[in-house]
Chains A and B, each alone.
Chain A
Amino acid sequence: MSVVRRIPELLVPAVLILGTALLGLEVSSYLQAYFLDTLVKVAIVVALYVFIGNSGVLSFGHISFVALGAWTAGVLTVPRDQKLAIMPGLSHFLVVHNVGNIASLALAAAVGGAFALVVGLPLMRLSGLAAGIATFGVLEITNNVLTYDQSIGPGLNAFSSVPSTTGIWQAAIAALISAAVAYLYQRTRFGRMLRATREDPAAAAAAGISIYRQRLLAFTVSGALAGLAGGIYVHLQPLQAGGLSLNLTFITLAMLVVGGSGSLLGAVVGALALNGLFSFFSAATNTVDVFGWNLTVPSGTAELALGLLMAIVLILRPSGLTGGRELSLPRRRAVADLEKARATT
């Protein structure tokens, strides 16, 4: 397959992300919050896609990597003099260590990836519903510990005083990095091997592919991306890391499936479409101006609209908005004819 035809596979998601960022720079700072939030969601959904999209195995545990990334970046960047005021029970090691913005993001990705690797070592042996429930268990345990263990963080309280360094560019760059990693991964032989196991596990195994190893690799990569997304999230707004749980899991999974879980484009489109809609209705609770026409909706409409849209898209178009396909340029006529002729003989 020619390289030129493949260009849109990364270019279109990248343009969508950049477009969102540029649009976010144009609007008022009040509306900009929604664009920032959307870029973070794109980063999370792309992280989910790397594992779920390529392996075809549902994971409910990825938000625990996001939570862990948020925790890492949060606990290491709260200013030293405020640490004990916010987190009185914090252990000594975490009190004395502080890092900067970029380092905290890198560490968030590293911790997310390392945790995914440790969790994946036993869990990637499972498949189907057993895998789903086990990853759910990881999510529950992570949330539970992050919410109640006062020696590692603020527990039930949010990480206040974390420097809010995530602006439009930081969020956009993180989303772009995620998309680029996802693209590069799916182009490598490892990505292709994992996709082969998704289409036909028995045939892939017969061709010498270790399903376990390929899934573990993708799980680790996507855990690292999820950690990074958590890092930019906590630098965006004060989060209670243990509270990143069921709701975020549902919404991000729904974004992936609604967009089309089989392609990077689907992940980006799903996140942009659902979060865009959600943001629109959230903003509309305080009146938005739609082409000169003032629209005000009661609060809670955003959640209802999101739920309805998710249900409707899944019922009418179960393979997602993009059908799980990447965008590529059409083949040149002659090549296409030649390939068709070959396929029929």
Chain B
Amino acid sequence: MTLAFLNLTWPTFANGLALGGVYALMAVGIGLVFGVLRLVNFAYGQLIMAGAFALAYGSQWGFPNWASILFCFGVVLGLSILMDWLVFRPLRTHSPAVMLVATFAVAFLLQNIALLAFGPLGKSAGSLAILNAPWDVGGVFIKKIAVISVATAAGCLVILQLLLTRTPLGLHMRAASMDFRTARLLGVRANRVISGAVIISGLFAAVSAVMLSVQELTVVPAFGTQDTILVLAGVVLGGLNRPVPATLGGFAIGFANGILGGVLPSNQSQYLPSFLFAAVIVVLLVRPDGLFTRARGSVERV
């Protein structure tokens, strides 16, 4: 096979796609909120962590799978709405730096609550682990979760695209992310748009929590933090201001992460983050406005 060069095998490729799919969802979740609030939500990883713990407890308490997934969605949505009410809204008019540091504080708080409540060792979301079993696709064994992740991510993105282009709420959200003040002047209701973005972003966090807790097995208080950092890098890499480039950026970094993880020889795989971030820095230097956006002067005209 042509793919066999550099140790790249079909299962590795599939894992790359799967991680790329999940990261793309997270990228959309972060990008939507950024669009309407100009807020980079660093606590997004802690939403995913909370969802993953919900799943782990669900399986510990013997919930059927659908019930623990529902529980996970409930926890993540509740937490996102709470975060919106307590933190995002009061800070809406402040500078991006203050909002970013406020989400740091929230992330720090949630992570330490998890550390106190669930301990540092973590839990495993046992009942969904069967999805790690491989499927035989024409002689190649691919994990079920890889196929499911790619399919779910694609499905979610198509639904979101329809929502953004075919419904009034989507129109309002797009208008608000172009120019919030003008959109409000034209009758877009700010709170509804923000709630919409926060809820969709929370839904995507819950979906990502389900996928990641299967792929990464153990749920610890730091669960999702490293993923969020990578996704943030991917989102900025793609171009934060528009949903499609942001999604592509998230996908690209997830894909690169998955592939490199499988391809690098074991004595180099510990340097995986270095390779990824070196690539991110180089791309940012060449295209500071994003890889998938039309080139534009980065300095605003006065």
Q: Which residues of A contact B (CB under 8 A)?
A: 56, 58, 122-123, 125-127, 129-130, 132-134, 136-138, 140-141, 144-145, 148, 202, 246-247, 250-251, 253-254, 257, 261, 298, 300, 303-304, 306-308, 310-311, 314-315, 318-319
B233 neighbours in A (Cβ, 8 Å): 133, 136-137
A314 neighbours in B (Cβ, 8 Å): 91, 98, 101-102, 105
B225 neighbours in A (Cβ, 8 Å): 246
Contact present for B97 and A58 (CB under 8 Å)? yes
B288 neighbours in A (Cβ, 8 Å): 125-127, 130
A202 neighbours in B (Cβ, 8 Å): 299-300, 302
Contact present for B108 and A307 (CB under 8 Å)? yes
Q: Which of A134, A250, A253, A307 contacts B280 (CB 8 A)?
A: A134
Bound Cα distance A272, B274 (Å): 34
Known: A129-B40, A250-B107, A314-B91. 9 other contacts (CB 8 A): A122-B281, A133-B236, A138-B281, A140-B274, A148-B271, A254-B105, A303-B115, A314-B101, A314-B102
Q: Which residue of A lies closest to B289 (CB)?
A: A130
A145 neighbours in B (Cβ, 8 Å): 271, 274
A303 neighbours in B (Cβ, 8 Å): 108, 112, 115-116
Bound Cα distance A329, B300 (Å): 39
Contact present for A123 and B281 (CB under 8 Å)? yes
Query: DSSP class of A's interface residues: helix, strand, loop or mixed?
Result: helix
Q: Which residue of A lies closest to B106 (CB)?
A: A311
- The distance from the CB of B270 to the nearest CB of chain A, in whole angstroms, is 5
- The distance from the CB of A229 to the nearest CB of chain B, in whole angstroms, is 20
A136 neighbours in B (Cβ, 8 Å): 229, 232-233, 277
Residue B79 is within 8 A (CB to CB) of chain A in the complex: no
Contact present for B284 and A133 (CB under 8 Å)? yes
A134 neighbours in B (Cβ, 8 Å): 280-281, 284-285
A123 neighbours in B (Cβ, 8 Å): 281, 285
A250 neighbours in B (Cβ, 8 Å): 104, 107-108
- The distance from the CB of A149 to the nearest CB of chain B, in whole angstroms, is 9
6 contacting pairs across A/B (C-beta < 8 A):
A125-B288, A126-B285, A133-B237, A137-B233, A250-B104, A318-B98
Q: Which of A126, A138, A247, A315 contacts B102 (CB 8 A)?
A: A315
Q: Which residue of A lies closest to B285 (CB)?
A: A122
Contact present for A130 and B284 (CB under 8 Å)? yes
Contact present for B105 and A311 (CB under 8 Å)? yes
Contact present for A304 and B104 (CB under 8 Å)? no
A253 neighbours in B (Cβ, 8 Å): 101, 104
A-B contacts at CB below 8 angstroms, number: 125
Q: Which residue of B lies closest to A139 (CB)?
A: B277
Interface size class of B (residues with CB under 8 A): 35 or more
- The distance from the CB of A344 to the nearest CB of chain B, in whole angstroms, is 27
B281 neighbours in A (Cβ, 8 Å): 122-123, 134, 137-138
Bound Cα distance A306, B271 (Å): 33
Contact present for A304 and B274 (CB under 8 Å)? no
Contact present for B105 and A300 (CB under 8 Å)? no
Residue B265 is within 8 A (CB to CB) of chain A in the complex: no
Bound Cα distance A314, B39 (Å): 14
Contact present for B104 and A315 (CB under 8 Å)? no
Residue B298 is within 8 A (CB to CB) of chain A in the complex: yes
- In the complex, which residues 244-302 of chain B have their Cβ closer than 8 Å to any Cβ of chain A? 270-271, 273-274, 277-278, 280-281, 284-285, 288-289, 298-300, 302
Bound Cα distance A251, B237 (Å): 26
Question: Given contacts A58-B100, A306-B108, are A141 and B240 in contact (CB under 8 A)?
Answer: no
Contact present for A307 and B105 (CB under 8 Å)? yes
Bound Cα distance A120, B276 (Å): 19
- The distance from the CB of A41 to the nearest CB of chain B, in whole angstroms, is 15
Bound Cα distance A138, B284 (Å): 13
Residue B90 is within 8 A (CB to CB) of chain A in the complex: yes
- The distance from the CB of B299 to the nearest CB of chain A, in whole angstroms, is 8
Contact indicator per residue, chain B 70-97, by CB within 8 Å of chain A (1) or not (0): 0000000000000000110011001101
Bound Cα distance A8, B130 (Å): 66
Interface centre among B102, B237, B240 (most CB of A within 10 A): B102
Residue B109 is within 8 A (CB to CB) of chain A in the complex: yes
B108 neighbours in A (Cβ, 8 Å): 247, 250-251, 254, 303, 306-307, 310
Contact present for A137 and B280 (CB under 8 Å)? yes
Q: Which residue of B lies closest to A257 (CB)?
A: B101
A126 neighbours in B (Cβ, 8 Å): 284-285, 288
Contact present for A311 and B87 (CB under 8 Å)? yes
Residue B113 is within 8 A (CB to CB) of chain A in the complex: yes
A122 neighbours in B (Cβ, 8 Å): 281, 285
Bound Cα distance A126, B98 (Å): 20
Q: Which residue of A lies closest to B109 (CB)?
A: A307
B87 neighbours in A (Cβ, 8 Å): 311, 315
